[in-house]
Amino acid sequence: MRHESFARAAAELNLTAAGISQHVRIMENWLGVALFTRHARGVTATAAGREFGAAVANGLGHILNAAQQLKRESHDRPVSVACIASFATRWLIPRLPEFRREHPEIRINIVYALDAKTPEAASVDLLIRHGTRPGANSTPLLSAQTQPTCSAEFKLRHGSFNVPGDLIDAELLHDETTAAWGRWFALENVHRPLKPGPIFADFSLMIGSVVGAQGIGLCPVSLIAEELANGTLVTLFDSPLDTDKFYWLIEATRLSREAETFRDWLVAESSGSDSKPDP
């Protein structure tokens, strides 16, 4: 309608004038109304054509506005990640500044995973939890195996631990329950009652006591790599527990492009892990 010329309209749409003319004819036949008056110098929109053109332009404008708004909302929506506290504080959060430098346009929201088994149950895009293989749409990030660990200061103060049984009388720190230490001693064929010791609801709480030279904890080695490297912490005996457990990244069925970017970054960041489950 704007051009009142099929040739100019065709050039704008990268079509042929004949093709434009044919489509207009089809529309006029369907409507039962002439939209253009044809003459030697070109075409002129009829009154009905001008009215119809204005209505169509208005409708297309609404569609364009709605599409642009939806696109803005999609880009503005943050990527939501539910994560267990220990993994978040010890591994994920220290690495987030690097992601923000690489992708300043993507916002990340981190919430507690609590007992959620799927991203949908937690109403998030991505879920990070530990355990055995959780099923479909899951990728192992890091090993969750643990080893007896204490501070270098604690080991210096309390002497050498030569055999696993020497730990039974030491100050043991417990994550959630005493069950993990019981399983570790059973694997080492040590069958004596455990002394009562402090119990922490989460490893992110227990690690403070381990670093503070207050006792020995079964620590996920992948989450204390920095302290092991600088000598703040030391492992006692090469006898890991829970070698079949990992920190898993579980993704929702549908992900935004931003969530896919963050997922790929997480997998790449963890690619240096020397222990992955069998396919």
pLDDT, one tens digit per residue, over 241-275 is 999 999 999 999 999 999 999 999 999 999 865 55
Measured between alpha carbons, how far is 110 from 89 in angstroms, rounded to an integer?
Answer: 11
The b-or-e profile of 252-271 (16+ CB within 10 A means b, else e) is beebbebbebbbebbeebbe
The CATH superfamily assigned to 80-143+246-272 is Periplasmic binding protein-like II (3.40.190.10)
pLDDT of residue 191: 92
Class of domain 6-76: mainly alpha
On whether the CB atoms of residues 46 and 35 are closer than 8 A, the answer is yes
User: Residue 81 above 90 pLDDT?
Assistant: yes
Global pTM?
0.70
User: Residue 149 above 80 pLDDT?
Assistant: yes
User: Residue 190 above 80 pLDDT?
Assistant: yes
Q: Is it true that domain 146-235 has CATH number 3.40.640.10? A: no
Tell me what percent of the residues of the chain surpass a pLDDT of 70: 86
> Residues of CATH 3.40.190.10 domain(s) within the chain?
80-143+246-272, 146-235
pLDDT of residue 278: 52
Band of residue 43 on the pLDDT scale cut at 50, 70, 90:
confident
> Residues of CATH 1.10.10.10 domain(s) within the chain?
6-76
User: Residue 1 above 70 pLDDT?
Assistant: no
Measured between alpha carbons, how far is 226 from 112 in angstroms, rounded to an integer?
Answer: 24
> Across the chain, what does the average pLDDT equal?
86
pLDDT of residue 111: 94
Exposed/middle/buried for 119, CB within 10 Å: 0-12, 13-18, 19+?
Answer: buried
pLDDT of residue 75: 57
